[in-house]
Amino acid sequence: MVEEDIHKGERLMESCIEKKIYFHDTDCGGVVYYANYLKHLEEARTEYLSGKGIGLKDLMAKGIYFVVSHVEIDYKAPARYQDVIRIFTDIEKVGFSTLHFFQKVFREDNLLVEARTTLVCINRDFKPVRIPDGLDSILKRETRD
Amino acid sequence: MVEEDIHKGERLMESCIEKKIYFHDTDCGGVVYYANYLKHLEEARTEYLSGKGIGLKDLMAKGIYFVVSHVEIDYKAPARYQDVIRIFTDIEKVGFSTLHFFQKVFREDNLLVEARTTLVCINRDFKPVRIPDGLDSILKRETRD
Amino acid sequence: MVEEDIHKGERLMESCIEKKIYFHDTDCGGVVYYANYLKHLEEARTEYLSGKGIGLKDLMAKGIYFVVSHVEIDYKAPARYQDVIRIFTDIEKVGFSTLHFFQKVFREDNLLVEARTTLVCINRDFKPVRIPDGLDSILKRETRD
Amino acid sequence: MVEEDIHKGERLMESCIEKKIYFHDTDCGGVVYYANYLKHLEEARTEYLSGKGIGLKDLMAKGIYFVVSHVEIDYKAPARYQDVIRIFTDIEKVGFSTLHFFQKVFREDNLLVEARTTLVCINRDFKPVRIPDGLDSILKRETRD
């Protein structure tokens, strides 16, 4: 069972979105193109934050942006046309201006992809800034320790 | 020969860009995904305008934008991984606030795609506006009549 | 109300999918990139057929493919980051080897995009073939006649 | 100067492709979308191999595929619409069935992105296999040691 797999030695990742694979996701190798997983991962992170009451669009209106500064991703098994994948998302660490996400992509109980992504909180001038107070406390509550 | 094909009964389309097909262009049907041609068509239109001295980025800085309002596209034959395609671009008509592009995509002398695209000149409020004077005259010089 | 708008003078389009707009859909003009709607339209057509019991993946396994031969699309108003769009899909006509789709994209009751797409039924050699018997009758039942 | 920057303490990366940024590369944050760099990186790796006489398409015809198993990427500065980027590519290590690429993306002399990508050589059953003899020796000649 998925839930077993994903919390071996770690907390259950509660946030999950489900996506179906269409032609536009795939390439002529017959599987999902490696860059396209990053789109699904973006969606999953956005929904994770949204589930905590954090709206990226509202923040943008205030001049607060989160941009990706680092991705480390392992492709373990391919997804194919019409597969249904589930993307589990968690925050591992909240830094001064950074959010550290950990995500896993499954097809049924097969782990396909594992990714760590760092987002940096920046202002309109693309300078890193402190994560706003309210956010910070919501997100810290979510992480381990 | 391509040049023969493309000016049967019409003026030679002088503007041409060449692109190679990579994995990211294709889908699991083994051919270029239908939406991805629209990216190549965008590039070809931009280079066509740039070749006339019209910089879309400079216009954007002045609050003048060109957005696509209509596309009609025929897919006649597929392109595949590592094919080299050539995209010929021409303007068929210049309206008050519209540019009407005609584009053909070839692999060697095989016509793969034919597309007609309408761009509308808009301001920051997304309202159609008259194409700026200088542009208008440059572009009208290019079209048949 | 959407349902009102979409069947003014025409049959209700019953098949609908809902999608949220993410960063990957948009471009630096601040709106959904024109080619990316074609991905959502693909998803909506696939779900329409799936709702009739027609699985494109099963057909592919039998050497029957549907490829896009023609698209005509009107962009009437832009969608933006985090908008929720609804894509209504219908088949207007079933030909010997062609399916003619009509699709509308709404944000609430605003019509954003209208598209007509022709799919051709082909075999492994990319030759048009007759739409298989069972399919043909399922789909003809759906169209106006 | 770029050449200075990229071989500080390391060998010059001789393989370079140049790409211009178009609307389809960007997102509504006004910069290149993070996943889209992976498309440019794919192109650059393909051209690097092609420059060594290694054709991925020919290999595919023989049932030999290279798939991405790992990416680690740092986004240091954003690229924007109409920027010209240069992607430098090198192989750091050749394993039994793996190629380890190192790539840098510059705009003029600004380092925008740094990426390490592992490709695995697989057969038609998606099983890792030894990199074919000829390839192996060509590629090892290119790497340090």
DSSP-assigned states of every residue in A117-135: EEEEEE-TTS-B-PPPHHH
Question: Which residues on chain D are in Cβ contact (under 8 Å) with C81?
Answer: 28
Q: Is the pLDDT of residue C138 over 70?
A: yes
Task: Note the pLDDT tens digit of each residue in A10-40.
Answer: 455 778 999 999 999 999 999 999 999 999 9
The whole-number mean pLDDT for each consecutive block of 10 residues of chain D, a chain of 145 residues, reads 44 83 97 98 97 94 96 98 97 96 97 98 95 87 61
Q: Which of D20, D25, D28, D37 to mutate to test the interface with C (most CBs of C within 10 A)?
A: D28
Q: Is the pLDDT of residue C8 over 90?
A: no
Mean pLDDT, range B90-94, rounded to an integer: 95
Read off the pLDDT band of A143 (50, 70, 90).
Answer: low
Residues 35-74 of A with CB under 8 A from B: 35
Active site residue D27: yes
Question: What radius of gyration do chain D's Cα atoms show?
Answer: 16
Question: Which residues on chain B are in Cβ contact (under 8 Å) with D24?
Answer: 38-39, 42-43
Using CA coordinates, name the residue in chain D closest to A64.
D29
Q: Is the pLDDT of residue B13 over 90?
A: no
Mean pLDDT, range A92-112, rounded to an integer: 97
Q: Which of C9-18, C76-85, C95-104, D58-67 has the lowest mean pLDDT?
A: C9-18
Contact A68, A114 (CB under 8 A): no
Kindly state the tokens that stand for A94: 């909240």
What pLDDT sits at residue B143?
67
Using CA coordinates, name the residue in chain B closest to C31.
B67
Query: If DSSP codes are grouped into helix, strand and coil, which group holds residue B16?
Result: strand
Using CA coordinates, name the residue in chain B closest to C70.
B74
Contact C131, C139 (CB under 8 A): yes
Question: Which residues on chain A are in Cβ contact (under 8 Å) with B28?
Answer: 23, 26-31, 80-81
Pairing of strands C65-75, B65-75: antiparallel
Residue that is written with structure tokens 């021409």 in the block: B90
Read off the pLDDT band of A90 (50, 70, 90).
Answer: very high
Using CA coordinates, name the residue in chain A closest to B31.
A28
Q: What whole-number distance in Å separates Cα of residue A53 and Cα of residue A47?
A: 10
CA-wise closest residue to B25 among A23, A40, D22: A23
* CB-based contact, C24 to chain A, within 8 Å: yes
Contact D28 C26 (CB under 8 A): yes
Question: Which residues on chain C are in Cβ contact (under 8 Å) with B79?
Answer: none
Q: CA–CA distance from A121 to each of A113, C24, C121, D112, D115 (Å)?
A: 25, 19, 49, 18, 22
Q: How many domains, in total, are found in chain A? A: 1
More confident residue, D5 or A140: A140
**Could you tell me the CATH number of the domain that includes residue A137?**
3.10.129.10
Q: Is the pLDDT of residue A145 over 70?
A: no
Q: Is the pLDDT of residue A1 over 90?
A: no
Mention every residue, 6+ apart, whose C-beta is less than 8 A from residue C89.
C13, C15, C16, C17, C44, C45, C47, C48, C101, C102, C103
Question: Which residues on chain A are in Cβ contact (under 8 Å) with B27?
Answer: 23-24, 26-28
Contact B113, B71 (CB under 8 A): no
Mention every residue, 6+ apart, whose C-beta is less than 8 A from residue B119.
B45, B66, B67, B68, B69, B98, B99, B101
Residues 82-141 of A with CB under 8 A from B: none
The region, left, alpha or beta by phi > 0 then psi within -120 to 50, assigned to residue D30 is left
Mean pLDDT, range B113-141, rounded to an integer: 92
Question: Which residues on chain A are in Cβ contact (under 8 Å) with C43?
Answer: 20, 22, 24
Q: Is the pLDDT of residue C108 over 50?
A: yes
What pLDDT sits at residue C144?
52
Contact A72 D68 (CB under 8 A): no
Q: What whole-number distance in Å separates Cα of residue B112 and Cα of residue A110?
A: 39
Mean pLDDT, range A31-50, rounded to an integer: 98
- Long-range pairs, A91-94, Cβ under 8 A, ≥24: A91/A48, A91/A139, A91/A142, A91/A143, A92/A116, A92/A143, A92/A144, A93/A143, A94/A131, A94/A136, A94/A139, A94/A140, A94/A143
Mean pLDDT, range A51-62, rounded to an integer: 94
Q: Is the pLDDT of residue A144 over 60?
A: no
What pLDDT sits at residue D142?
65
pTM: 0.92
What pLDDT sits at residue A137?
86
* CB-based contact, B20 to chain A, within 8 Å: no
Q: What whole-number distance in Å separates Cα of residue D25 and Cα of residue D40?
A: 10
What pLDDT sits at residue B3?
45
Q: Is the pLDDT of residue B120 over 50?
A: yes
Q: Is the pLDDT of residue A104 over 70?
A: yes
How far does the CA of residue B8 sit from the closest CA of chain A (Å)?
A: 34
Using CA coordinates, name the residue in chain B closest to A23.
B27
How far does the CA of residue A17 sit from the closest CA of chain C (Å)?
A: 13
Catalytic residue among A5, A27, A74, A109: A27
| Domain extent for D21 | 2-142
What pLDDT sits at residue D74?
98
Q: What whole-number distance in Å separates Cα of residue C124 and Cα of residue A36?
A: 27
Catalytic residue among B27, B58, B74, B109: B27
Task: Note the pLDDT tens digit of each residue in C23-80.
Answer: 999 999 999 999 999 999 999 999 999 999 999 999 999 999 999 999 999 999 999 9
Contact C81 A57 (CB under 8 A): yes
Q: What whole-number distance in Å separates Cα of residue A64 and Cα of residue A122?
A: 6
What pLDDT sits at residue B101?
97
Question: Which residues on chain D are in Cβ contact (under 8 Å) with C78?
Answer: none
Q: What whole-number distance in Å separates Cα of residue A32 and Cα of residue A124?
A: 34
Q: Which of C39, C45, C71, C120 to mutate to test the interface with B (most CBs of B within 10 A)?
A: C71
Contact D24 C29 (CB under 8 A): no
* CB-based contact, B80 to chain A, within 8 Å: yes
